[in-house]
Amino acid sequence: MDLITKELLINVLFILLPMLLMHVAYFIKYIYNLEWLKESWIVICPLISIGMCMSFPFSLQEGLTWDLRRIPFLLGFLYGGYRHGLFLLAFVLLFRYIISGVGFYITVCTYAGMAILTSVLSPFFIKMSFKMKMLTSGLTVLISLLITYIASMIMTNNNLTDIMWIEYSLISIIVMLIATFICESINKSFTILEKVSKAEKLEVVSHLAASISHEVRNPLASCKGFIQLSYEKEEHLEIKEYLSFSIKELDKATEIINDYLIFARAAPEKTENLFIFEEVYQVIEIMTPLASRTNVQISFSKIEGDNLYVQGEKKKFQQAVLNIIKNAIEAMPAGGKVTVGMVEKLDFIHLTIIDQGKGMTKKQVNRLGEPYFTTKSKSNGTGLGLMVSFSILQKMGGEIVVKSQEGKGTQFLIKLPMKK
Ligand code: ADP
Ligand code: MG
């Protein structure tokens, strides 16, 4: 085996080993629910890799070395963005400065340039498909190699042959592709794990909902009936007040039980064609009194076209939209505006509900739809509303995308298949 390949193989180990560590770290984070761990590992793993690669490079000649540090560097920037990447840049430059030699200037050119390029790419990279990610990471390595090549041609009178450059480039690109592949599979396995655990929780709730709710709702209804009767006949004011309080509490309990019942039967039982504009309009009318209590205005805009029909069950669809609008109103206790809009896109209707409320963190957005997830006080929130909404909309073939910014507001985008 060629000497370059042999020497650089040790570098490959330094790249793969921290990745294995990252996988373990993800597991620990998942099991013990340590939120800070994931974030910091985006920096720590590449730092370890870079440090090890630079400590055991392939020495070419006085002041010049080859190693694979560019791979953890580029991956760190692409996955972590510039905020995490800047640590890596500072580390690489400092380390290379200490080693000294003309290679330092080549490093400055290559890594500063690549830092800018990958910082710009990072937000797009995270959303790319697997194939595009592989392509992009391969291309970024290629560009970084080109910069290094040109810089070293200008700054040094080295005696490196083209074959050596080709060999170095090939190794770099192959290792980069393998590293990206591993990063992707680690990410994927954890998204699947999170989905499975969410689905498990939903299943437990679903069983509970189906078995108990009915049995509880009927006695609640008769209790309420009797209390109402007593309330009407009672003359003692103090007792009347107690009774009215009991009725309110019973109503709250019934509402929760109803949530469970709707959830257990989220699938439409008798589907009909729903004129979506009309349905949403009715929901807004129901919610307006609640909104005006906290000074919230609801605006509604409709696009042209009479084709805006979806298939579903009237009551359930309205409930689904109502829960989302209710949350939007509740997110703005000091008032504000809820904007409801509709757009027709291909064969889908995009229904958007935007508020200017307190927003959510990424972690909170990920937990939406999970049973009992609420940030509200016990008397205000049950954490069942969105679970119900999501299951109804998903059973209608819909998809929900939530974007939120803390302190700025939240956007719910509901994509529903249009009925032609
Ligand atoms: P609940 O409203 O009973 O708390 P939901 O399932 O309706 O339960 O909502 C779950 C949580 O999601 C809420 O407690 C809130 O923290 C968050 N949430 C939902 N919608 C919004 C929104 N528009 N703005 C901010 N937070 C929201
Ligand atoms: Mg709610």
- Residue pLDDT, tens place only, 369-410: 988 899 988 778 888 899 999 999 999 999 999 999 999 999
Cα(375) to centroid(ligand 1), Å: 7
**Residues within 6 Å of ligand 1 by CB:** 323, 327-328, 331, 355, 357-360, 368, 373-376, 381-387, 410
Angle between helices 314-330 and 385-395 (to 10 degrees): 140
pLDDT higher than threshold 90 for residue 205 = no
More reliable by pLDDT, 336 or 64 = 336
Nearest C-alpha to atom 19 of ligand 1 is from which residue? 327
Smallest-distance ligand from the CA of 339? 1
Report the nearest atom of ligand 1 relative to the CA of 384. Answer: 6
pLDDT at residue 264, rounded to an integer? 81
pLDDT at residue 37, rounded to an integer? 65
Cα(250) to centroid(ligand 2), Å: 19
More reliable by pLDDT, 326 or 27 = 326
Q: Confirm whether pTM is higher than 0.85.
A: no
Lowest-confidence pick of 15-19, 96-100, 213-217, 381-385: 213-217
Across the range 8-28, mean pLDDT stands at 88
- Tens of pLDDT along 345-369? 888 999 999 999 999 998 899 999 9
Confidence of residue 330 (pLDDT cuts 50, 70, 90): very high
Dihedrals phi, psi of 303, to nearest 5 degrees: -90, 170
Cα(341) to centroid(ligand 1), Å: 20
pLDDT at residue 268, rounded to an integer? 77
pLDDT at residue 224, rounded to an integer? 93
pLDDT at residue 1, rounded to an integer? 56
- Tens of pLDDT along 13-22? 999 999 998 8
Cα separations in angstroms, 173 against 134, 139, 177: 10, 8, 6
Confidence of residue 199 (pLDDT cuts 50, 70, 90): confident
| Residue whose entry in the numeric block shows the structure tokens 């935007």 | 354
Residue 67 carries which DSSP code?
A: -
Nearest C-alpha to atom 22 of ligand 1 is from which residue? 328
Cα(345) to centroid(ligand 2), Å: 28
Report the nearest atom of ligand 1 relative to the CA of 386. Answer: 6
Across the range 289-312, mean pLDDT stands at 86
Nearest C-alpha to atom 27 of ligand 1 is from which residue? 327
The half-sphere exposure of 404 on its side-chain side, counting CA atoms within 13 A, is 22
pLDDT higher than threshold 90 for residue 223 = yes
Nearest C-alpha to atom 8 of ligand 1 is from which residue? 383
- Average model confidence (pLDDT) for the chain? 89
pLDDT higher than threshold 60 for residue 219 = yes
The tokens describing 94, both together, are 């400092």
pLDDT higher than threshold 90 for residue 331 = yes
Confidence of residue 306 (pLDDT cuts 50, 70, 90): low
Confidence of residue 38 (pLDDT cuts 50, 70, 90): low
Instruction: Please enumerate in sequence order all residues whose Cβ is within 8 A of that of 362, keeping only pairs 6 or more positions apart, or say none.
Output: none
Cα(262) to centroid(ligand 2), Å: 14
Confidence of residue 107 (pLDDT cuts 50, 70, 90): very high
- Tens of pLDDT along 242-296? 999 999 999 988 888 888 888 887 777 788 999 999 999 999 999 999 999 999 9
Which range in 153-157, 200-204, 320-324 is most confidently predicted, on average pLDDT? 320-324
Cα(74) to centroid(ligand 2), Å: 42
CA 151 to chain centre: 40
Nearest C-alpha to atom 16 of ligand 1 is from which residue? 375
pLDDT at residue 305, rounded to an integer? 64
Smallest-distance ligand from the CA of 360? 1
Cα(51) to centroid(ligand 2), Å: 49
Smallest-distance ligand from the CA of 387? 1
Nearest C-alpha to atom 13 of ligand 1 is from which residue? 374
pLDDT at residue 378, rounded to an integer? 75
Cα(353) to centroid(ligand 2), Å: 14
Long-range CB pairs of 7-10 (<8 Å, 24+ gap) are: 7/57, 7/58, 8/58, 8/66, 8/67, 8/68, 8/168, 8/171, 10/56
CA distance 114 to 119: 8
Smallest-distance ligand from the CA of 388? 1
pLDDT at residue 195, rounded to an integer? 85
